[in-house]
Structure 1
Amino acid sequence: MQETPLDIQLKTLPESPGVYQFYDKNDVILYVGKAKNLKKRVTSYFVKNHEYGKTRVLVRKISSIKHVVVPTETDALLLENNLIKKFKPRYNVLLKDDKTYPWICIKNERFPRVFPTRKVIRDGSEYYGPYTSMKTIRTLLDLIKGLYSLRTCNYDLSAAKVENGKYKVCLEYHLGNCKGPCEGLQSQQSYDEQIAAIREIIKGNFKDSLQQFREQMKAYAAEMKFEDAQRIKEKIEVLENYQVKSTVVNPKISNVDVFSIISDEGYGYVNFLQLSFGSIIRAHTVEMKKKLDESDKELLELAVTEIRNLFHSRSKEIYVPFKINVGEDVKVTVPKLGDKKRLVELSERNARFYKQERFKQIKITDPDRHTNRIMAQMKSDLRLSREPRHIECFDNSNIQGTNPVAACVVFKDGKPSKKDYRKFNIKTVDGPDDFASMEEVVHRRYRRLLEEGEELPQLIVIDGGKGQLSSALKSLDLLGLRGKIAIIGIAKRLEEIYYPDDPVPMYLDKRSETLKIIQQLRNEAHRFGITFHRNKRSKSAIGSELENIDGIGKKTAEELYRNFKSVKRIKEASLESLTEVVGASKAAKIYKALH
């Protein structure tokens, strides 16, 4: 068999770090990836049996491969990131660009201004950020404005113009918000000292500013300038209050990035916290759509590289929940306990909250995506071969063996389909035998669906443990449906999930949406069954009470119940109302007996 150009390319790939690019027959780029060993990584696409459908489609489309060899894995990470941004391949996870994020600018000028901006101009000015929201910047700038007197005008305060008296102080000076550098009322050295302190505050270091203010307060107090001392004390309180809100655990933890990931079947949610001097100076969460069933490790490696580039992080250490490979220049720490561990847990909590908020938004704005995600999650959690778009749940109801009934509720796409609910009077079982009752109703339900050619469910849920599940399985065996419909039992005590032929139950996460839907099914079946049982008991009670009256039989009792709907209404009915239903003679007997 003649080798294809693709086979030859695979055989000649180097065993070095690098970046590979897959192209289709039209020379359109499909995917960009990084590798520690190009030959091993790229060859693995063509020798494995891929479970995930999109990966199989990708491999079928590959017509040619290009690669770039780089010296280290770090270089491979950065090059991969740049190529994904440049080409936006169809099968790559994409992250939001940073063009619209705001920054804090300390302008490159005499008596620098400090202000927010979305444009980064390379004129020697200092830029801090980007920040994830303008609200964070405003909070920080309000704090700075309350602590230091900075100019807000855009005058060119060159030494010559100030000396020549070109400018006059404005209202900001008279309000006490500016010390008047435009008229030479504040020295450049004094102003630059303020700017140096502001730089540290933006970085999260409050220590120097607090120390400086405390010394000023003591000096004013010693000189009996109590009003000035009180003004400085208020600034200290503002700064300490801000520091308390932003300090997480330990002021010794500085210049560190924290990352965590929470994921489901279709998306990953990566949270990023940047710490400086024990304070969170930046927090951001990104949503990443999976393209090729990427693992949490793959998503986190991509996100760490991208987010650090996005926010221009120069931290030499990162804390993560598990080991990842992000190059030799960054120390990767997986904390096991203490303050560092709590930081990773805080990051995970932020990612989880973000995920929950996104779910709520999607449920409103894109219900189809919400349904698809829930179905995919249930398929994965319950180890099913198909998504459970149609689920049916059975529950028995009897009190001391009287009036035994059963209920079947139906959920479609995770929501109740009440028109498909069914109730059953138990016909073949005497006494309170839940197992035999379950066997009867399951058999009756699916025999009828088969006879009528109706759609069968993908999943059956039995309210009960191993005993009820075994009884339901007997009926499926008789009908030849064993293996064609997935079936599970849910026990009430600890919410254990039982599978056929498996004595060990499965326990789902108590917060999982899969368990919540199963619980909703079980509760709805119980409610529907109890309502039916109560109505049946009520009919039975009024029937026996009426039948004890001379001249009143079963048919008359049923006629009364059909018209008045309840015992209470029959007792409250007037003689005329009763006469309209059963005639004057019987009505008189009933009215006299009930009153």
Structure 2
Amino acid sequence: MTEAEFDPQAVVRSLPDQPGVYRMLDAAGEVLYVGKARKLRRRVASYFTASVRNPRTRAMVAQVADIGFTVTHTEAEALILENNLIKEHSPRYNVLLRDDKSYPYIYLSAQQTFPRLAFHRGARRGAGRYFGPFPSAGAVRDTLSHLQKVFPVRQCEDTFFANRSRPCLQYQIKRCTAPCVGYISPEEYARDVEHAIMFLEGRSGDVIDRLVTQMEQASEALDFEKAAQLRDRIATLRSIQEKQAITGEKGDLDVVACVAEASGVCVQVFVIRNGQNLGNKTFFPRAPEDTSAGEILSAFLARYYLGRDTPAEILVNVDVPERAVLETALAQDAGHAVHIRQRVRSDRRRWVEMAVNNARTALQTRAAQQAGQGRRMEALQGALDLEAVPERLECFDISHTRGEATVASCVVFDRDGPVKSDYRRFNIEDIEPGDDYAAMRQALERRYLRLKRGEGVLPDLLIIDGGPGQVRQAVDVLEELQVDGVIIAGIAKGPDRRPGEEKLYLPHRDETVILPADSSALHLLQQIRDEAHRFAITGHRTRRSKTRKSSRLEDIPGLGPKRRQNILKQFGGLKAVSRAGVEDLERVPGVSREMARRIHDTFHGDVKD
């Protein structure tokens, strides 16, 4: 249906007066907006009346060329479907939440004599207990660090633990009791695990009482060294308790505050579990202009909590439209009642005010950073003599070890800083090992062929980490793909590879450009270059590690993935497998003598057909 053929009144007449979700589409079929309604016909009709004054709504309606809809049984079901469709399509006129990763947890393994504590994100399928959720990975790591100081429960991987012959550095710095080499009995270790569980359940007061009793017993038995260790643990635990405890609160709740100002929108989420403040996280949702804080917060709560663990209470700073529907949808999704409360008193009111202050501070900090980034973009325009201030920058780098496991990175910056959702890595294949020019060419071809097809946004400035040779590859690729309007610049370190001596290579200039060491334009180029290098080398190390752990075993005929995995587990890694004898390999369940000999020969250069 074309825009000229679109008759909104005809569409409205076809809609039922039932709950559901509607989708506003433009002439190209792109989703402009997704909304829910208790009565579809009445809600959609309200967009096409003369009384609509909101400029944002009028701008959207002017682009509508078709309307799709889905009928649901209840308004709560419509809210859940709306949330899923917004995540799928990211419509420009909806409130969008960039960070949509799963919550991180602390995982305590089970069915082991010496369980381990670990960071966990994703599906909770492993046998054991999960504590959280935490608002961020940093909050998990801080808590694990605190736990190691008070309850030295191991956090190492099982393969590392199973192959120790002497204590590791964690034992030396008193962060572990070395159960791997028998320095602690299973009974004493189990007591530390029990105390760690009590702490994570918010029962740190009970733990302190137990430790005090143990300290007194050790003192009476004249075991002053142990008494001193317990005294230090109690002091550390009290310090942690003072920082995390929330006065008068015993249950689970979140405090969510939204602040909408001219400089942008910020939402702060404080997570409280078992009466402990587990930390906070900051979000900057993308919202159309003239959207109220209440509307933003309502959309945020649906985007953030549906499909995740939701506490029984959520404290907010502004009234949430259609709160009852949102509570019903969250309760259905969580499997328990969920209450959204705005008017709170006493301590709870102070927590909400704290969240609001944090949101305002975060907005001010972000505005200052954006202003600084904007100034650096303007300085870059002047330094490179560009016609306009660049809005989007992309930088490529190559990483490998003597040609092994070559990886190319592409990082993206805009006026807000790094756009990490647009970062990409490329595993480079079918080139001569160590040929950086060919690697760069392949990465650029793969990246810009996709952008040429419309699968992304072209940058204003393409930065290459390298000299004239790498820049030449970029020029050739863009010419072949007929990509116009993208400025190319290469950045190479000076003779001594010291920061501040970089040389810039521009295809349209014969001479190199050297910017002053205090140039803000140079600082921006250094930042994006270093970020591309970090992203490339991280990908290279991951790929190299994966290759070295698996490739030799994968080349052995008749050795399937299950037996490969079993062998690696039994020996704790490929290095130990390479050192094993035929008899050692034969002891692995499922490995015959012939297979053991074949594995042994693979690592010792005597391969037989």
For the superposition of Structure 1 and Structure 2, which TM-score range results when normalised by the shorter chain?
A: 0.5 to 0.7
Aligned partner letter, 1:238: T
| CA offset digits 1:451-488 (Å, max 9, x no partner) | xxxxxxxxxxxxxxxxxxxxxxxxxxxxxxxxxxxxxx
The answer as to whether partners of 1:260 and 1:348 remain within 8 angstroms in 2 is yes
Aligned partner letter, 1:287: F
Q: In structure 1, what is the equivalent of residue 141 of structure 2?
A: 138
- Which of residues 213, 220, 223 in structure 2 aligns to 1:215? 213
Q: Does 1:323 align with 2:325?
A: no
Q: Give distance in 1, aligned partners of 2:202 and 2:11.
A: 52
Q: In structure 2, what is the equivalent of residue 347 of structure 1?
A: 355
Q: Give distance in 1, aligned partners of 2:110 and 2:138.
A: 24
Q: Give distance in 1, aligned partners of 2:6 and 2:250.
A: 56
- Which of residues 80, 88, 94 in structure 2 aligns to 1:92? 94
Q: 1:241 deviation in Å?
A: 0.9
Q: 1:156 to 1:349 in 2, by over 3 A?
A: same
Q: Give distance in 1, aligned partners of 2:198 and 2:309.
A: 16
The answer as to whether partners of 1:34 and 1:77 remain within 8 angstroms in 2 is yes
The answer as to whether partners of 2:116 and 2:155 remain within 8 angstroms in 1 is yes
Q: Does 1:226 align with 2:224?
A: yes
| CA offset digits 1:276-307 (Å, max 9, x no partner) | 24332131121123225222111001112233
Q: Give distance in 1, aligned partners of 2:260 and 2:90.
A: 22
Q: Give distance in 2, aligned partners of 1:346 and 1:315.
A: 19
**SS across alignment from 2:277:** strand
The answer as to whether partners of 1:273 and 1:283 remain within 8 angstroms in 2 is yes
Q: Give distance in 1, aligned partners of 2:36 and 2:119.
A: 37
Instruction: Name which of structure 1's ranges 200-209 and 355-364 shifts more when overlaid on structure 2.
Output: 200-209
1:39-54, aligned counterparts within 5 Å?
39-47=41-49, 49-54=51-56
Q: 1:170 to 1:184 in 2, by over 3 A?
A: closer
Aligned partner letter, 1:338: S
- Which of residues 97, 110, 115 in structure 2 aligns to 1:112? 115
**SS across alignment from 2:53:** coil
Q: In structure 2, what is the equivalent of residue 334 of structure 1?
A: 342
- Which of residues 309, 312, 336 in structure 2 aligns to 1:313? 309
1:167-246, aligned counterparts within 5 Å?
168-171=165-168, 172=170, 177-183=175-181, 186=184, 188=186, 190-202=188-200, 204-246=202-244
Q: 1:236 deviation in Å?
A: 1.3
| CA offset digits 1:315-354 (Å, max 9, x no partner) | 1111112332122222122234211111111111111111
Query: TM-score, normalising length from structure 2?
Result: 0.53
Q: In structure 1, what is the equivalent of residue 409 of structure 2?
A: none
Q: Give distance in 2, aligned partners of 1:327 and 1:152.
A: 38
Q: Give distance in 1, aligned partners of 2:25 and 2:141.
A: 46
| CA offset digits 1:397-442 (Å, max 9, x no partner) | xxxxxxxxxxxxxxxxxxxxxxxxxxxxxxxxxxxxxxxxxxxxxx
Q: 1:44 deviation in Å?
A: 1.5
Q: Give distance in 1, aligned partners of 2:357 and 2:186.
A: 46
Q: In structure 2, what is the equivalent of residue 154 of structure 1?
A: 157
The answer as to whether partners of 1:269 and 1:286 remain within 8 angstroms in 2 is yes
Q: Give distance in 2, aligned partners of 1:369 and 1:42.
A: 42
Aligned partner letter, 1:221: S
Q: 1:65 deviation in Å?
A: 1.9
Q: In structure 2, what is the equivalent of residue 7 of structure 1?
A: 9
Pairwise CA RMSD of aligned residues?
A: 3.5
The answer as to whether partners of 2:136 and 2:281 remain within 8 angstroms in 1 is no
The answer as to whether partners of 1:25 and 1:61 remain within 8 angstroms in 2 is yes
Q: Give distance in 1, aligned partners of 2:157 and 2:99.
A: 31
Q: Give distance in 1, aligned partners of 2:63 and 2:27.
A: 7
| CA offset digits 1:75-110 (Å, max 9, x no partner) | 333322221111111222211234497654434562
Aligned partner letter, 2:157: N
**SS across alignment from 1:83:** helix
1:523-542, aligned counterparts within 5 Å?
none
Q: In structure 2, what is the equivalent of residue 69 of structure 1?
A: 71
Aligned partner letter, 1:296: A
The answer as to whether partners of 2:260 and 2:292 remain within 8 angstroms in 1 is no
Q: Give distance in 1, aligned partners of 2:119 and 2:159.
A: 19
The answer as to whether partners of 1:91 and 1:292 remain within 8 angstroms in 2 is no
1:378-417, aligned counterparts within 5 Å?
none
Q: 1:231 deviation in Å?
A: 1.5
The answer as to whether partners of 2:148 and 2:176 remain within 8 angstroms in 1 is no
**SS across alignment from 1:323:** coil
Q: Give distance in 1, aligned partners of 2:128 and 2:61.
A: 48
Q: How many residues align?
A: 361
Q: 1:258 deviation in Å?
A: 1.0
**SS across alignment from 2:99:** coil
Q: Give distance in 2, aligned partners of 1:205 and 1:35.
A: 45
| CA offset digits 1:173-210 (Å, max 9, x no partner) | 57654444335565556545533443443454423322
Q: Give distance in 2, aligned partners of 1:29 and 1:364.
A: 34
**SS across alignment from 1:327:** helix
Q: Does 1:361 align with 2:369?
A: yes
Q: Give distance in 1, aligned partners of 2:74 and 2:185.
A: 50
The answer as to whether partners of 1:93 and 1:291 remain within 8 angstroms in 2 is yes
Q: 1:233 to 1:149 in 2, by over 3 A?
A: same
Q: In structure 2, what is the equivalent of residue 261 of structure 1?
A: 258
Gaps of at least 5 residues in structure 1 are: 371-595
Gaps of at least 5 residues in structure 2 are: 332-337, 379-609
Q: 1:52 to 1:66 in 2, by over 3 A?
A: same
Q: Give distance in 2, aligned partners of 1:346 and 1:155.
A: 41
**SS across alignment from 2:327:** coil
Q: In structure 2, what is the equivalent of residue 426 of structure 1?
A: none
The answer as to whether partners of 1:14 and 1:38 remain within 8 angstroms in 2 is yes
**SS across alignment from 1:262:** strand
Q: Give distance in 1, aligned partners of 2:236 and 2:70.
A: 53
Aligned partner letter, 2:215: M
Q: Give distance in 2, aligned partners of 1:269 and 1:212.
A: 43
Q: In structure 2, what is the equivalent of residue 583 of structure 1?
A: none
Aligned partner letter, 2:294: K
**SS across alignment from 1:236:** helix
Q: 1:153 to 1:139 in 2, by over 3 A?
A: closer
Q: In structure 2, what is the equivalent of residue 30 of structure 1?
A: 32
Q: Give distance in 2, aligned partners of 1:144 and 1:318.
A: 28
Instruction: Name which of structure 1's ranges 114-123 and 223-232 shifts more when overlaid on structure 2.
Output: 114-123
Q: Give distance in 1, aligned partners of 2:301 and 2:145.
A: 31
Q: Give distance in 1, aligned partners of 2:37 and 2:353.
A: 30
Q: Give distance in 1, aligned partners of 2:38 and 2:341.
A: 21
